[in-house]
Structure 1
Amino acid sequence: MAKKQGKPEYVTAISNRKARFEYEILDTIVAGIELLGSEVKSVRLGKASLNESYAMIHRGEVWLENMQITPYEHNTLDTLDPKRSRRLLLHKSEILRLQSKISEKGLTLIPLKAFFNPKGILKIELGLARGKKLYDKRETVKNRDAERQLQQLKKQY
């Protein structure tokens, strides 16, 4: 069986669709995430959300804040806070590089999507982002509408 060239296919479990509208993504990086108990089972079932979540660097570690993971319903041992802080796993050099970029004015770390790699390990794609102004958002909507109309015209002919 021939192996495909290029990027490996990942099954996206969760995506933060609002992030690309609200922010201009300058750079992306993939990080592992430290989970406890049955949180992985909840994510596999799709009971997680990246809306309103962000990442921050604190004492040389990257932490993911406000990621909602609904507790697994068949869990009998312990109940975890659904919006607790979760540590992201990155190399020290990557953390230092991100920290130097974040110190620039107006940049932040936003999770774009969570996916399982081919080995079945949950990964988070972080985006180094700058917030869009209102007129940039209007421009995005206008371009999206124009592209949609163009596609409709192509379907007619």
Structure 2
Amino acid sequence: MNKIAISLYVVGVFAIIAGVILGLQDSATVVTSENILGEIEYEETITWTIFWAYTIGGIISGIMMFGFGEIIRILDEKKEMESKSYEELMNIKQYLVGSEEKHNVHRTQDNSLEDKTETFDDIQYPSSYSNQDTDNSDTKKGKGLSGLIDEAVNGKK
């Protein structure tokens, strides 16, 4: 898990604990009174509204930290998944482009099949590893699976 997400979870736990502790501490009030004999009496009471204000504030702050941590965790997982997908697509592309020959079967005018074998060296494929990429999407049309992979990896330009 991402270090930032973990630290936000920890901050969220501390916020909840601090809210409860501060609520208990600040809600305790000491009431003094003087009795008939002139002695001062101390009585400790808890003001529940102050306690709940601090506690609810701590819980809300903690939940918000949990939420931010979860968002960062999800984004980190998405980044890793996209990185793995990119590597997989590049492996597939290298496998397809690395083949020796491509067989093109065409119909001739007399409706018979003709095999026109071409090597990949004769065809110009845009590659993610070369500087020959162009922004013109027409060059990628009709390039087969390799052009489709380039378009999926690089996005529509």
TM bucket by the smaller chain?
under 0.3
The structure with more radius of gyration: 2
Which is helix-richer, 1 or 2? 2
Return the TM-score normalized by structure 1.
0.18
